[in-house]
Amino acid sequence: MKQIGIVCLLLLVVFGQAIAENYQKIRIYLSTSEDIQKIADLGIDFEGSYYKRDQFIDLQISRFEKDILENSGFITEVLISDLEEFYRSRLETRTGEGFGYGSMGGYYTYSEVMADLDSLIATYPNLVSQKQIIGYSVLGKPLVAVRISDNPNIQENEPEVLYTGLHHAREPMSMMVLQYFMWYLVENYGSDPQATFLVDNRQMWFIPVVNPDGYVYNEQTNPNGGGMWRLNARDNNDNGSHFQSGIDGVDLNRNYGYQWGYDNSGSSPTPGSQTYRGPGPFSEVETAFVRDFCNQHQYITALNYHTYSNLLIHPWAYNDSPTPDHQYFYTFGMDMTRFNGYVLGTPSQTVGYAVNGDANDWMYGEQTSKPKIFAYTPEVGSSSDNFWPPTNRILPLAQENLYPNIVLSYIAGSFPKIVRNSIRPYGQNRYADPGEMIKIYPEITNYGLKPTGPVGIELVSRQPSITVLQNSIQFPGMQTFDSLAAGIPWKFQVPYTTVPGTSLVFDLQIFDNGTLVNTDSLIMTVGTFDIAFADSGNTALTRWSAGGSNGSWGMTSTSSHSPVYSFTDSPVGDYANSCDFWLRSESVNLSDATSARLHYWTKWDIEAGWDFGLVEISTNNGISWTSVKGNYMKPASGSGVQTPGLFGYDGVQNEWVQESID
């Protein structure tokens, strides 16, 4: 009940002419648990496809590789007969919207990327550095980097961050995400606290195109988008042609030096394979120049963008053991994925296979020539987006990765955050009633890799009728993951005239050594809530009804938040494949309520990115249902049973958490 991404795509050069080979989406039904390993041993790349454990795997693959699979005994079913035509049908030409669209189905060509960087530099010369050529590709195209900072052409004593795109030439969204983020930073500088702080206090470097040769080749074969060449332009048989299908090219994300060639499943020793690692570590000029560029700097964090599968991947990639800094990777990654819902983990945890010679492992693992870099790989987009998402998906995908881009730069330095606010009304109950004095005790944690200076936090009311007493609270400096709770609270009185159900809104401002780091908000609902429905989970399902297929809700004493029982969807073991069942409460009368809130304790273990746990409400006695969103829910991936636009639970949550839904 896991999903794995697999994609293997090649192009063919005949008589020196660029001719795109036919690519198909196929399904392989699996006979044994060893089938996945057998596919990997054939040199098939696992990036971007979907694996339903013990059932099937969907691949996007060239005719050449389909023949390899069929000759090895695998039976294939064609799902899409011509992928490049399928991609072209979804792409259109757009210009002048938002951060801009390119001429290649909405994506920038290589020359348009360079022109867009020139436009950034010309428009914001005080924030964007001149283009720096860090090296040249096999065919002599420049690998270009730019820096965004408040003094962009000066090396300052500020934390350095690196963003890269287009290691794989058929993944243009990996570049578009970076172009969008660069424009966000400069256009919001001076007005948005986050953008302003990052530009003033970080040095953010961008290499939007690591593989220019492969990308330009895709432009030539498919000028309207949809080209599927993945590798660089190494001429493996030295015949003067650089793009022969099944012969040429190296997978740049298997060519980095750390644990290069660790085994022949995580990379291939065979030229022509989509995971061919090259003749030696850093044999490719593109990866060697990225290596040298990293060694010349002091990068602390990095995002190496790829597509697709809605994942955020971190080391180790070469095997399934955790790094010594696993808790750091996990904590930072959970923050980066809190809004886009990407599945977090190592390659073995997310896609079910190991990779060796990738950029993340080298950036983190090589600690002699440079400091360790906390490097991640976002795999942008769902299976419906694929390698060339439809034109109308470019902007949404760029936007859903804005928050992780911001967080990555924050954590490279100090990053104080308010993690909770303990609210203690002075009245007789736990609610904020009109006329009561409210005390708020904030708790902060440093989520950055550098220590903070003295931290100050301020609470500012948006209601003119409310004055916050002791509105500024001070904390001493903190190391990474240090947490401190305030001993002196913020205090304010709720006006007597406030109507119950009114939401009071406050701004939270966080300062590090006197510099505004970030702002947040706090919302409090006035009035006493009556309990309209409650169930401890310690009695039979007398107030509930259960139904559905391939399973049923029940009670368990194996785990509970409060002794002795809890409700569970799988009282006798793991839930079954293809299950769809529900637990429904009795009707609750809310006709006199001005607002309502649902609280419950929950934990889960649900196949990430495929299965989903939903909470729905009905206001017409069950005729129709509406999905609602809680604080711990993720957006649907668009794969499996996860319908885009919905929010729910997947992945693993081992500890009980209290969910809240308004």
Query: pLDDT, tens digit, for every residue of 426-450?
Result: 656 678 889 999 999 999 999 999 9
358-372, 380-394, 481-495, 534-548: least confident range = 534-548
Residue of 518, 478, 452, 450 whose CA lies nearest to 159:
450
| pLDDT score, position 56 | 80
Query: pLDDT, tens digit, for every residue of 310-356?
Result: 999 999 999 999 999 999 999 999 999 988 889 899 998 888 789 99
Residue of 472, 388, 461, 352 whose CA lies nearest to 40:
352
| pLDDT score, position 33 | 73
Residue 659 three-state SS: strand
| pLDDT score, position 114 | 97
| pLDDT score, position 17 | 38
User: Percentage of residues in the chain with pLDDT exceeding 90?
Assistant: 58
43-52, 122-131, 170-179, 578-587: least confident range = 43-52
| pLDDT score, position 574 | 82
Measure the CA–CA gap between 662 and 616, rounded to whole angstroms: 12
**Residue type (1 letter), 543:** R
pLDDT value at 9 more than 50: no
Number of neighbours of residue 636 by Cβ within 10 angstroms:
23
Residue of 249, 183, 190, 243 whose CA lies nearest to 217:
243
Instruction: Give me the chain's average pLDDT, please.
Output: 89
| pLDDT score, position 97 | 40
pLDDT value at 500 more than 70: yes
| pLDDT score, position 289 | 98
Tokens coding 285: 């000029």
Output the 3-class SS for 336-373: HCCCCCCEEECHHHHCCCCCCCCHHHHHHHCCCCCCCC
Place of tokens 């001070």: 474
CATH class of 91-411: alpha beta
How much helix, strand and coil, in percent to the nearest 5, is found in the chain? 20, 30, 50
E-assigned strand segments in 513-639: 515-525, 544-549, 554-556, 566-568, 580-585, 598-606, 616-617, 626-627, 634-635
Query: pLDDT, tens digit, for every residue of 585-630?
Result: 889 988 888 778 888 889 988 887 778 999 999 988 889 888 998 8
Measure the CA–CA gap between 108 and 212, rounded to whole angstroms: 12
Measure the CA–CA gap between 377 and 164, rounded to whole angstroms: 10
Give ranges for CATH 3.30.70.340 in the chain: 7-88
Measure the CA–CA gap between 24 and 78, rounded to whole angstroms: 7
Number of neighbours of residue 524 by Cβ within 10 angstroms:
18
DSSP 282: T
pLDDT value at 1 more than 50: no
| pLDDT score, position 89 | 78
Sign of CA dihedral 345, 259, 254, 4: negative
Stronger pLDDT, 200 or 309, i.e. the higher one: 200
Give ranges for CATH 2.60.40.10 in the chain: 416-525
Give ranges for CATH 3.40.630.10 in the chain: 91-411
Note the CATH architecture for domain 416-525. Sandwich (2.60)
CA distances from 22 to 61, 72, 218, 219, 419 (A): 9, 20, 14, 16, 52
Residue 49 pLDDT level (bands cut at 50, 70, 90): low
Choose the catalytic residue: 65, 84, 171, 379.
379
Tokens coding 2: 């896991």
Query: pLDDT, tens digit, for every residue of 198-221?
Result: 999 999 999 999 999 999 999 999
- 388 Cβ contact partners less than 8 Å away, ≥ 6 residues apart: 87, 90, 91, 105, 107, 170, 172, 173, 225, 226
pTM of the predicted protein model: 0.85
**Residue type (1 letter), 540:** A
**Burial category of 210 from C-beta neighbours within 10 Å (exposed 0-12, middle 13-18, buried 19 and up):** buried
CA contacts within 13 A on the Cβ side of 489: 15
Contact criterion met (CB below 8 Å) for 526 and 498: yes
Query: pLDDT, tens digit, for every residue of 380-427?
Result: 998 889 999 999 999 999 999 999 999 999 999 999 999 988 888 765
**Residue type (1 letter), 615:** V
Stronger pLDDT, 585 or 152, i.e. the higher one: 152
Q: Is 578 left (phi over 0), alpha (psi -120 to 50) or beta?
A: left
pLDDT value at 94 more than 70: no
- Annotation marks residue 97 as catalytic: no
CA distances from 268 to 157, 213, 264 (A): 41, 21, 5
Tokens coding 545: 């009804």
Question: Which of 34-38, 226-230, 497-501 is modeled with the greatest confidence?
Answer: 226-230
Stronger pLDDT, 84 or 132, i.e. the higher one: 132
Measure the CA–CA gap between 423 and 77, rounded to whole angstroms: 59
Note the CATH architecture for domain 7-88. 2-Layer Sandwich (3.30)
Query: pLDDT, tens digit, for every residue of 536-570?
Result: 888 888 888 888 887 788 888 888 888 888 989 88
Run of H or E including 90: helix 83-90
**Residue type (1 letter), 479:** Q
| pLDDT score, position 6 | 32
299: β partners: 160
pLDDT value at 96 more than 50: no
Measure the CA–CA gap between 504 and 317, rounded to whole angstroms: 47
